[in-house]
Amino acid sequence: MGLARNALIAASQSRWLREHAMRWRFVRRASRRFLPGERYEDALAAASELAELGITSMLSRVGENITNAAEAEAVTDHYITVIGAMWAAGLEPSLSVKPTQLGLDFDAGLCERNLDRIFKAAQYPNLIPSEQAPLSRTQGGTMGADPSRKSPPTVGAYIKRGIIWIDMESSAYVDRTLELYRRISARHSYTGICLQSYLRRTPADIDSLIPHLAVIRLVKGAYREPPSIAFPDKRDVDEAYFALADKLLSKPALDADVRTAFATHDPIMIERIVQLAKSRGQGRLGTNIGFQMLYGIRRDLQRQLAADGWPVSVLISYGTYWFPWYMRRLAERPANVWFVLKNLFG
């Protein structure tokens, strides 16, 4: 792990920086590269702009490790409000939610119940006639969404719902998060799980998920982990990422209808995955793959992929507890620091 990445992760864990750096004007200005604002209304406005380009969005309120039931339920209520606002804005509701926001640290059952409430809110109540067949895996969701649709569906139409992603946190949470995903996805087919290529265990985790119609977001990872658990070198993380892409686009995975969102800003990696996908018969919209990026990073690449017909979704974060999240985003790809500097001084 490089010194720059180590320093950024350490900064994300510093209580003093968390309490002071968010007040510094230059830090707040730099953070706008990744966050359109602290309110969910700011994120909705950004999502609406992206929709005009045929790019879908996932919203995520920054913050984690909630410590009591009242806070966890308040976060759940907030996400339900956001889902309603997304429907009202003509956007498919798609969220990325950290389980520790919903109570996983102290009550796994409460966390699961809170997630159930979020999923039920994403069903667009009163629009699906009782005689209508349930939504199938290929009739909706962020990865195969129709970018031309700008308004909610009418009565009698199949409802297109964005995927609600269960985010992955540090390695200490992987087993609990995977168990939560398996339980939730058994009830809600538009559920996604995030996996991290820097963890040495991830190939085995993917093998265990392939038989279960999994929807997977593949990221590189941005928590501090010991070398015994995670690859310390960027080159190894990148090669692990592509090896996992190969596994996720293998015949067993495609036959099992596994869908994958490749979350990366690396144009070389994206081109390798595009060529691999084409060699496996995966060709753009309506297939089992898509690409995801962060708000404000490689906007040119986002637009090009969307123009070429690949499903593209952008993660838009918001909220007041943004400093640790911001430092981890820089640590995921230290080259992001260059984008920030250009934004500050360019």
Catalytic residues: 167, 217
Q: Which residue has the tokens 């005009």?
A: 52
Q: Cα–chain-centroid distance for residue 315?
A: 6
Separation CA 85–CA 245 (nearest Å):
34
Separation CA 206–CA 204 (nearest Å):
5
Q: Taking Cα atoms as reference points, which of 298, 312, 319 lies closest to residue 42?
A: 319
3-state secondary structure of 103: coil
Alpha helices in 249-315 (DSSP H): 251-255, 267-279, 299-307
Separation CA 67–CA 104 (nearest Å):
9
What single-letter DSSP state applies at residue 288?
Answer: S
Separation CA 170–CA 137 (nearest Å):
29
Q: Cα–chain-centroid distance for residue 101?
A: 15
